[in-house]
A and B are shown apart, each in its own frame.
Chain A
Amino acid sequence: MYGKKVKLRILFLFLALVSIILSVYLILKSLEENVVYFLSPSEIKNLTEINSNKIRIGGMVKNQSIIIKSEEINFIITDFKNELNVSYSGSVPNLFAEGKGVVAEGYLEDRNYFNAVKILAKHDENYMPPEIKEALGDK
């Protein structure tokens, strides 16, 4: 017979192993379901199929494109190659303005219309999210 000490250790290791495997499985599985992909308007145009997942769009707010109504704000996100119409009802960050970078989170209706649920705040006038910098890179 093994001693009590050994048995306890084995049981303990076994429990630890099982819980580690379980938690890794759980984490990876929900990661799969909950990630939000980041796309530029051009990438949207080239999508082969439109699914109902939440995504983020990054680009510039097109000049003269913001239209404000009492319940809704409409604007166009552009990467200077392609454009995307966005409708949004919610609060906007202070640095949301025409000709400035923006990241919108929401759902695609089709290749031209995007329903945003959140406009992401930026913190600094001089700062541009790297995603946008990159999206505008070949401009």
Chain B
Amino acid sequence: MLANQIGYYSLILGFFFSILIVPISIKNFNNKNQIIDNKIFSISFFQFFFVLVSFCGLILSFVNSDFSNETVFNNSHTTKPLFYKISGTWGNHEGSLLLWLLVLTLFIFIFLIKSNKHPKKYRILTLLFQQVIIIGFFLFLLKTSNPFNYLFPIPKEGLGLNPILQDPALAIHPPILYLGYVGSSIIFSSSLAAIVGKYISKVWAKHIKVWILVSWIFLTLGIMLGSIWAYYELGWGGFWFWDPVENVSLMPWFCLTALLHCVLVLEKRLLLSSWTVILSIATFMLSMSGTFLVRSGILNSVHTFANDPERGIFILIFLFTLILLSLVIFFVFHKENNQDIDKTYWLSKETSILFNNWFLMYFLSVVLIGTVYPIFLEVLSGEKISVGSPFYHKLIIPFLIPFLIFMSIGPNLNWIKSEVKKINIQIVLSFTISLLVSFLILRKIGYVGLINTILILTAFYLFFITIKDFFLKKFKNFSQNFAHFGFSLLILSILFNSILSSEKIINLKVGEKFSFREEIITFESIESTENKNYKSIIGNFKIKDKQNNSIQLKPELRIYNQPVTITSEADIKTTFYYDKFLVMNLVKDNEYFNVRYQVKPFMIWIWISTILIVIGGLLSLFKRLYEK
């Protein structure tokens, strides 16, 4: 009760401060003084502080199962474990928006403190643009999705959190992903501020790169967590399904990755300034439209909390306002600075980065069209369609080949101009080794199609080039090296995983067995146990291979009490070579269980390589912070 009240009133106080910042900053902006008024710092801190208090209030309401709060009532239950009571705070529409707001206010406060080497006008402009976003979110929250709505009479029991969200990976997936999404808001505001304040320079590029790295790291991690969760919880045995909600997180990632590389060109050569700004705007717009598509109920998925059209329309109007604002600012204020374009040659690091940017934009448009086209078609003609993975695979996989080649060669080129004769013995040697390795592997696994063959070859090429660079290159760039190495490993593991995976789906009774490849899988018994908020049925499966080695897998069915839902928990035996994945479902309370058994090679390497890519980002981030 009390926590709820405090939460609500501090949210309103926070809104008050967020409006108060605007006139004070404008006054300070017109001031001759070169220092930002201390008042702005304190008000910005208060804005963050009150949103934080409000967020803690909501968490407390969840922890205490205070069902006088509508959000808590809709999404929690007294028998839920404490951990999921807390994670339930952002496992719903209202709470997750409050989290967005919290991160928005936190980031702008950090930005203000950390940017003291930069001109006052630029900092205040960034603050003002960020306030536009923050005020928009405050209005959205208070008007359409207040997390502190009061319920009377107070219900005795809540409706519970969707059980498939009751999972450790998914408990931290939204906050991490949001840090990535919201990080792009700072990039957006700061680019607009840099245009208006005529501050686009090498110094600015260096400074904004830190923010790009931060959001890129969180976005990558967030996508990975979601993917890991989908792998073991949804029981489909895959890690990426080209589901619209997955796509909307991938689109800003493409954009941010492109931005991460092109800001390097801006930093070193002061080229591509318009392109950098366009990418910054696009990244944030894609993050926002991701939120819009996911939250508005247009896309069906586990993420769809709200089916309230008012909310969808609000986000849509807000989105268009921001797009309009940024376009106007871009065209009115942006002037090409005097670039030394005369010193641009085809064989150079910047052109290869530019080419890779093009490819990323191409991947982005494929995913964008595949995701948005069905929505438009339905609105326009009423026809309902879906676009499946063949579409994406067909359009993306072949173009990964030149992409990988540019990734291998680019880092070895010089800025401005490279000589062709730089193609030396080491590069030829790496190519020969990768040719040899791919040949040996393909002889073992058989023909996999022309495009896959070339893709394996180029991925190995990147793999060996990055290893060579790691040991032999004179001026090492560890972050780039790690990230590119991780990417080659990622492509290789995904390729071999998809080529070599095999599965068997069968309906079994207890005591029956089936053989699969060279293994015999026996469904030995089932046992059931009672847990706090669910009953579980555990199946005992024995898998015996040719050498009579056997392992036990125990997939589980959970029958949750509130809401009454059955979920399957796959049991996975992970080794460095393969994952053995077993999941079972009950059909029609029958004695038959629907059993899916999969052997998925190199599954763990997909996660390891993603972590390597993130480490690459972290290394670069630490280097930046240390340099300061």
B369 within 8 A of A: yes
B568 within 8 A of A: yes
Taken together as a complex, chains A and B put the C-alpha atoms of A80 and B173 apart, in Å, by: 40
Taken together as a complex, chains A and B put the C-alpha atoms of A82 and B568 apart, in Å, by: 32
The answer to whether B385 touches A94 (Cβ under 8 A) is no
The answer to whether B567 touches A94 (Cβ under 8 A) is yes
B344 within 8 A of A: yes
A13 to chain B, nearest CB (A): 13
B321 within 8 A of A: no
Contacts of A95 in B (CB 8 A): 565-566
The answer to whether B388 touches A36 (Cβ under 8 A) is yes
A–B pairs, 6, beta carbons within 8 Å: A19-B362, A31-B373, A37-B384, A93-B235, A95-B566, A97-B588
Give the residue among A8, A36, A89 with the most B Cβ atoms within 10 A.
A36
Interface residues of B in 558-588 (CB under 8 A from A): 563-568, 583, 585-588
A131 to chain B, nearest CB (A): 6
Taken together as a complex, chains A and B put the C-alpha atoms of A34 and B365 apart, in Å, by: 16
Q: Which residue of A lies closest to B508 (CB)?
A: A70
B590 within 8 A of A: yes
A138 within 8 A of B: no
Taken together as a complex, chains A and B put the C-alpha atoms of A51 and B625 apart, in Å, by: 61
The answer to whether B505 touches A56 (Cβ under 8 A) is no
A137 within 8 A of B: no
Q: Which residue of B lies closest to A37 (CB)?
A: B385
Taken together as a complex, chains A and B put the C-alpha atoms of A121 and B300 apart, in Å, by: 11
Contact of A38 among B386, B512, B563 (CB under 8 A): B386
Interface residues of A in 92-139 (CB under 8 A from B): 92-98, 121, 123-127, 129-131
Contacts of B235 in A (CB 8 A): 91, 93-94, 121
Q: Is the interface of B mostly helix, strand, loop or mixed?
A: mixed
Proximity string of chain B (485-524) to chain A, C-beta cutoff 8 Å, 1 when within and 0 when not: 0000000000000000000011110001000000000000
Contact of A70 among B373, B388, B395, B507 (CB under 8 A): B507
A70 to chain B, nearest CB (A): 5
Number of interface residues of A (CB under 8 A): 47
Besides the contacts A27-B395, A94-B235, A125-B564, what 17 more A-B pairs have beta carbons closer than 8 Å? A8-B344, A9-B341, A19-B358, A24-B365, A35-B374, A37-B385, A38-B385, A70-B506, A70-B512, A73-B594, A91-B595, A93-B585, A94-B568, A121-B234, A123-B302, A124-B162, A124-B563
Contact of B585 among A16, A33, A92 (CB under 8 A): A92
The answer to whether A91 touches B505 (Cβ under 8 A) is yes
B41 within 8 A of A: no
The answer to whether B384 touches A131 (Cβ under 8 A) is yes
Proximity string of chain B (591-604) to chain A, C-beta cutoff 8 Å, 1 when within and 0 when not: 01011100000000
The answer to whether A8 touches B341 (Cβ under 8 A) is yes
Taken together as a complex, chains A and B put the C-alpha atoms of A71 and B384 apart, in Å, by: 31
A27-B366, A92-B594, A97-B588 known; A73-B507 Cβ under 8 A: yes
B104 to chain A, nearest CB (A): 28
Q: Which residue of B lies closest to A97 (CB)?
A: B588
The answer to whether B365 touches A23 (Cβ under 8 A) is yes
B236 within 8 A of A: yes
Contacts of B585 in A (CB 8 A): 91-94, 96
The answer to whether A123 touches B365 (Cβ under 8 A) is no
A69 within 8 A of B: yes
B387 within 8 A of A: yes
B333 within 8 A of A: no
Contacts of A121 in B (CB 8 A): 234-236
Contacts of A34 in B (CB 8 A): 387-388, 390-391, 394
Taken together as a complex, chains A and B put the C-alpha atoms of A27 and B594 apart, in Å, by: 38
Contacts of A97 in B (CB 8 A): 588
A residues neighboring B (CB under 8 Å): 4-5, 8-9, 16, 19, 23-24, 26-28, 30-31, 33-38, 54, 56, 66, 68-73, 89-98, 121, 123-127, 129-131
B400 within 8 A of A: no
The answer to whether A123 touches B162 (Cβ under 8 A) is yes
Give the residue among A35, A66, A97 with the most B Cβ atoms within 10 A.
A35
Task: Give the size range of B's interface with the partner.
Answer: 35 or more
A35-B387, A73-B507, A131-B384 known; A4-B563 Cβ under 8 A: no
Q: Which residue of A lies closest to B592 (CB)?
A: A68
B342 within 8 A of A: yes
Taken together as a complex, chains A and B put the C-alpha atoms of A26 and B596 apart, in Å, by: 36
B370 within 8 A of A: yes
B383 within 8 A of A: yes
A104 to chain B, nearest CB (A): 13
The answer to whether B387 touches A31 (Cβ under 8 A) is yes
Contacts of B234 in A (CB 8 A): 121
Taken together as a complex, chains A and B put the C-alpha atoms of A123 and B304 apart, in Å, by: 10
Contact of B394 among A30, A56, A66, A71 (CB under 8 A): A30
The answer to whether B395 touches A30 (Cβ under 8 A) is yes
Taken together as a complex, chains A and B put the C-alpha atoms of A89 and B374 apart, in Å, by: 28
Taken together as a complex, chains A and B put the C-alpha atoms of A125 and B391 apart, in Å, by: 31
The answer to whether B300 touches A129 (Cβ under 8 A) is yes
Contacts of B370 in A (CB 8 A): 31
Q: Which residue of A lies closest to B162 (CB)?
A: A124
Contact of A91 among B564, B566, B596 (CB under 8 A): B596
Taken together as a complex, chains A and B put the C-alpha atoms of A123 and B302 apart, in Å, by: 6
B164 within 8 A of A: yes
Contacts of B566 in A (CB 8 A): 94-95
Contacts of B477 in A (CB 8 A): none
Contacts of B386 in A (CB 8 A): 35-36, 38, 56
The answer to whether A92 touches B300 (Cβ under 8 A) is no
Contacts of A96 in B (CB 8 A): 585, 587
Contacts of B505 in A (CB 8 A): 89-91
A91-B594, A97-B588, A130-B300 known; A38-B384 Cβ under 8 A: yes
Taken together as a complex, chains A and B put the C-alpha atoms of A30 and B387 apart, in Å, by: 10
B165 to chain A, nearest CB (A): 9
Taken together as a complex, chains A and B put the C-alpha atoms of A33 and B236 apart, in Å, by: 25
A38-B386, A73-B587 known; A5-B341 Cβ under 8 A: yes
Contacts of B144 in A (CB 8 A): none
Taken together as a complex, chains A and B put the C-alpha atoms of A19 and B596 apart, in Å, by: 43
Contacts of B342 in A (CB 8 A): 4-5
B301 within 8 A of A: yes
The answer to whether B358 touches A27 (Cβ under 8 A) is no
Contacts of A123 in B (CB 8 A): 162, 164, 301-302
A102 to chain B, nearest CB (A): 12
Q: Which residue of A lies closest to B566 (CB)?
A: A94
Q: Which residue of B lies closest to A40 (CB)?
A: B384
A49 to chain B, nearest CB (A): 17
Taken together as a complex, chains A and B put the C-alpha atoms of A123 and B592 apart, in Å, by: 22
